[in-house]
Amino acid sequence: MYIPTLDDMLAAHVRIKPYIHRTPVLTSSFLNELTGAELFFKCENFQKAGAFKVRGASNAVFGLPDGMLEKGVATHSSGNHALSLSYAAGRRGIPCTVVMPRTAPQAKKDAVIGYGGKIVECEPSTSSREEVFAQVVTETGAEFVHPYNDPRVIAGQGTCARELIEQVENLDAVMAPIGGGGMISGTCLTLSNLAPNVKIYAAEPEQADDAARSFKAGHIIADDAPVTVADGLKVPLKELTWHFVSNYVSDILTTSEQEIIDAMKLIWKRMKIVVEPSSAVPLAAILKNKETFAGKRIGVIITGGNVDLDLLPWLKTEK
């Protein structure tokens, strides 16, 4: 297992800079008053392809040696990684194949195709996905870029925390949502090297709390198909992300579905930005644990803004 280093992150940043945004950091005096903390929101919802995932995907794609370009890249994802890898491959002009469950939202499929990716559908089960994906790799010879358990991807995600500590001085902590752990691992990689006094917190839905239970147990616990509104956070930790989580994270805080939806709506209403449910989990966790964060300067990573505007969770729950 190769563990990415500070140099990998720094090289990633140079490599991907032409293809990503240096996203802004927003603040809200209302949310500061409400939480008693000073919050600095790193807005990856404004990122290319609408999510931080384009950092890691671009690093993998633009780091490919020339000899591997013709066969392109492949992945399995029904979410932001699928969009991001398609975007990055499109920018480099190489093929990208994405295995997606046939039940994935049409909007996500359209977005992948819009960026130039090719979709191969599988049944919505792990066994079908693995079977179809193996076949795709055999046929195309494409390079597999895992959504998070990949040193190139983690090094890419680490560039987000690097920008954040350049944009905001004297942070006490950084919080990001945790699913597979790619963003948190990149954050750990960067902060443990460049700002070791900044604490790292992860936030997770109670209904998909495998990372929190792993953290307490001291080994990876994976759940089969958890159900949560924060659809980016359903996947389990893997060995590489577990390395970072187990070594550098201070705590993993969990929140209920209603707390996530309320925090999401609060961000939309008061900050006037569109964020996806996963992005609201950290604010929900801060609101639930005010005493832990009062008086502190907290960087909050808004991971993405790809949400179905026809299916907003606070409207669904009210129906």
Burial class (CB in 10 A: 0-12, 13-18, 19+), 10: middle
Question: Does 224 contact its own copies by CB under 8 A?
Answer: no
Question: Does 269 contact its own copies by CB under 8 A?
Answer: yes
Using CA atoms, how far apart are residues 47 and 279, in angstroms rounded to an integer?
13
CB of 49 to its own copies, least distance (A): 11
Using CA atoms, how far apart are residues 176 and 20, in angstroms rounded to an integer?
19
- Here's the x/- map for its own copies, 37-56, by CB under 8 A: it reads as --------xx---x------
Contact predicate 284/33, CB 8 Å: no
Instruction: By CB under 8 A, name the one of 2, 106, 138, 272 that touches its own copies.
Output: 272
Instruction: By CB under 8 A, name the one of 2, 66, 310, 319 that touches its own copies.
Output: 310
Kindly give, in sequence order, each residue whose CB lies less than 8 Å from that of residue 130, ignoring residues fewer than 6 positions away: none
Of the listed pieces 54-62, 119-127, 285-293, 302-310, which binds its own copies according to CB under 8 A? 302-310
Of the listed pieces 32-40, 88-96, 246-254, 266-274, which binds its own copies according to CB under 8 A? 266-274
CB of 52 to its own copies, least distance (A): 13
Report the amino acid identity of residue 106. Q
Using CA atoms, how far apart are residues 56 and 160, in angstroms rounded to an integer?
10
Using CA atoms, how far apart are residues 263 and 133, in angstroms rounded to an integer?
36
Closest CB to its own copies among residues 27, 125:
27
Question: Does 26 contact its own copies by CB under 8 A?
Answer: yes
Instruction: By CB under 8 A, name the one of 5, 24, 222, 227 that touches its own copies.
Output: 24
Using CA atoms, how far apart are residues 151 and 87, in angstroms rounded to an integer?
20
> Of 149, 151, 153, 146, whose CA–CA distance to 2 is shortest?
151
Using CA atoms, how far apart are residues 98 and 273, in angstroms rounded to an integer?
29
Question: Does 268 contact its own copies by CB under 8 A?
Answer: yes
Chain positions contacting its own copies, by CB under 8 A: 24, 26, 45-46, 50, 265, 268-269, 271-275, 305, 309-310, 312, 314-315, 318
